[in-house]
């Protein structure tokens, strides 16, 4: 079974973006900060939609010099995310149909592929699978 999880957008001012989405009825349902990765993920949802249909705001922290990342049209939209029952089977099916697995599921949990129109699709394993070949040894291909 496939389950829609969230759409991701990159933001330069998290507070302003949270306030904007608040005006249309969404509120923060959870947050994750990564000191090592220098980013913050903020998940928003309408009432009763947490865990069902969310918007992920990705804020990439500015470098030490304080310069902010600038996103061009389309670059601020990140990806659609879907939870799948078996990420290895799903990726094998996509690959057999001629699609490139841009970020293989080396960890048994996450992969990225692009739609025919170039939209990044994140696949997330429902739970975790042990790393398995050939996926565990595959390198990333291109960008996603």
Known catalytic residues are 122
Instruction: Let me know: does 124 contact 91? Beta carbons within 8 Å.
Output: no
Chain centroid to CA 94: 18
* Beta strands 101-103; 77-84: pairing state: unpaired
List, in sequence order, every residue forming a beta bridge with 30; answer none if it has no partner.
Answer: 43
Q: How far is residue 50 from each of residues 28, 74, 77, 123, measured CA to CA in Å?
A: 9, 25, 20, 19
Output b/e per residue, 62-80; b: 16+ Cβ within 10 A.
eeeeeeeeeeeeeeeebbb
CA distance 21 to 112: 27
């Amino acid at each position: 079974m496939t389950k829609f999880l969230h759409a991701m957008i990159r933001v330069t001012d998290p507070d302003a973006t949270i306030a904007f989405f608040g005006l249309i009825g969404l509120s923060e349902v959870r947050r994750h900060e990564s000191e090592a990765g220098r980013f913050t993920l903020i998940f928003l949802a309408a009432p009763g939609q947490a865990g069902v249909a969310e918007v992920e705001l990705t804020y990439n922290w500015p470098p030490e010099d304080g310069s902010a990342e600038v996103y061009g049209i389309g670059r601020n939209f990140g990806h659609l995310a879907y939870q799948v029952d078996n990420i290895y089977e799903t990726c094998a099916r996509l690959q057999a149909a001629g699609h490139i697995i841009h970020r293989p599921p080396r960890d048994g949990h996450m992969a990225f592929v692009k739609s025919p129109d170039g939209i990044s699709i994140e696949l997330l394993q429902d739970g975790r699978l042990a790393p398995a070949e050939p996926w565990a040894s595959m390198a990333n291909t291109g960008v996603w």
